[in-house]
């Protein structure tokens, strides 16, 4: 069953539901993290790629892995659009993750500017993956603007606090027809598993791995947790009893027809 279960983003098919962030750890670990996490998509900050550095991250990305350049550093739609175009010029392909922050402390995304950037970049043929604060109205606007997925945050980026926005992400999963990829704040495999059980299409994580003692081991733990959560979701989770036991004699048993 899982073999036919593909993640489809902008017409591209992926087997893996783990998107790896690359911003916070050593390049030499990236290759093993990709292997052990089974990731097929890896994000790349354009501001980090735009370098003459001896060690360019592109050298460490294996064949067959899709690059997802992000627009970190952009403070409004205009800047995000410029960074996305630069990414395309640098040969990073058509995928772009829009990140627009007007706050350097929490790095919370600006939904309004993100909607604007989504519209422009989708029109230019990008596969647009907007990182956003989980708000249903904003998500709908992003869908209408041409987004390929919606990427709501679970909690503030880097915080490892897990699904602080759980109920609002659930609303997006229930109401939006695009894949919902939970991004930012996932600190442990169990949290990734929970998001997948809820019906998230994929998980993106970076800090959780970067700050782990053994990065490749943590990467494989995430891989297994995401697969477990996906299987649970596909199998249909069992009934959850929130209070007491189920009455064996139904309350409505007296009804005659």
Q: Which is nearer to other proteins, 41 or 80 (CB)?
A: 80
Residue 169: phi and psi, rounded to 5, are: -65, -40
Residue 54 makes contact with other proteins by CB under 8 A: yes
Residue from 65, 86, 164, 232 touching other proteins (CB under 8 A): that is 86
Instruction: Check: CB of residue 33 under 8 Å from CB of residue 216.
Output: yes
Residue from 12, 32, 35, 47 touching other proteins (CB under 8 A): that is 47
Q: In the complex, what is the shortest distance from the CB of residue 52 to other proteins, in angstroms, rounded to a whole number?
A: 6
- Binding span for other proteins by CB under 8 A among 71-79, 142-150, 173-181, 191-199: 71-79
- Binding span for other proteins by CB under 8 A among 10-18, 73-81, 112-120, 245-253: 73-81
Instruction: Check: CB of residue 180 under 8 Å from CB of residue 17.
Output: no
- Binding span for other proteins by CB under 8 A among 17-25, 114-122, 129-137, 242-250: 17-25
Beta strand 95-98 pairing with 127-132: parallel
- Cα-to-chain-centroid distance, residue 132: 10
Instruction: Check: CB of residue 69 under 8 Å from CB of residue 46.
Output: yes
Which residue of the set 24, 28, 97, 116 is catalytic?
97
Q: In the complex, what is the shortest distance from the CB of residue 169 to other proteins, in angstroms, rounded to a whole number?
A: 21
Alpha-carbon distances, residue 11 vs 8, 38, 91, 134 (angstroms): 6, 20, 20, 24
Active site residue 105: no
Token look-up 């902008």 returns: 10
Q: Number of residues interacting with other proteins: please give it, by CB under 8 A.
A: 36
Q: Which two tokens stand for residue 94?
A: 């058509």
Q: Which two tokens stand for residue 40?
A: 């097929």
Residue from 9, 45, 154, 200 touching other proteins (CB under 8 A): that is 45
- Binding span for other proteins by CB under 8 A among 95-103, 129-137, 169-177, 220-228: 95-103
Residue 210 makes contact with other proteins by CB under 8 A: yes
Q: In the complex, what is the shortest distance from the CB of residue 68 to other proteins, in angstroms, rounded to a whole number?
A: 16
Residues 127-186 that bind other proteins (CB under 8 A): 158-160
- Find, among 205, 155, 145, the residue nearest to 178 by Cα: 145
Q: Give me the DSSP letters along 159-212.
A: -----TTHHHHHHHHHH-SS-BEEES---SHHHHHHHHHHT-SEEEESHHHHTS
Phi-psi region of 237 (alpha: psi -120 to 50; beta: other; left: phi over 0): beta
Catalytically active residues are 97
Interface residues with other proteins (CB under 8 A) are 23-27, 45-48, 50-54, 73-75, 78-79, 82-83, 86, 101-107, 158-160, 206-207, 210-211
């Amino acid at each position: 069953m899982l073999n036919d279960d593909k993640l489809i983003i902008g017409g591209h098919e992926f087997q893996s539901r783990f998107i790896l962030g690359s911003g916070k750890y050593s390049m030499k670990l990236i290759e093993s993290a990709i292997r052990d996490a089974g990731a097929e998509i890896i994000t790349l900050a354009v501001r980090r790629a735009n370098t003459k550095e001896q060690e360019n991250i592109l050298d460490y990305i294996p064949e067959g892995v899709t690059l997802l350049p992000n627009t970190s550093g952009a403070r409004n739609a205009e800047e995000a659009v410029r960074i996305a175009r630069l990414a395309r010029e640098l040969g990073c392909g058509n995928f772009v993750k829009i990140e627009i922050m007007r706050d350097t402390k929490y790095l919370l995304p600006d939904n309004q500017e993100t909607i604007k950037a989504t519209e422009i970049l989708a029109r230019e043929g990008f596969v647009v993956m907007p990182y956003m604060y989980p708000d249903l109205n904003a998500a709908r606007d992003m869908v209408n603007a041409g987004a390929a997925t919606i990427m709501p945050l679970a909690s503030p980026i880097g915080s490892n606090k897990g699904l602080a926005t759980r109920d609002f992400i659930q609303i997006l999963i229930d109401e939006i027809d695009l894949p919902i990829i939970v991004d930012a704040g996932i600190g442990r495999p169990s949290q990734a598993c929970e998001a997948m059980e809820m019906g998230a299409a994929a998980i993106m994580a970076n800090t959780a791995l970067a700050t782990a003692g053994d990065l490749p081991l943590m990467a494989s733990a995430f891989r297994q947790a995401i697969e477990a959560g996906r299987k649970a979701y596909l199998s249909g989770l069992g009934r959850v009893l929130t209070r007491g036991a189920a009455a064996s004699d139904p309350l409505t048993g007296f009804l005659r027809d």
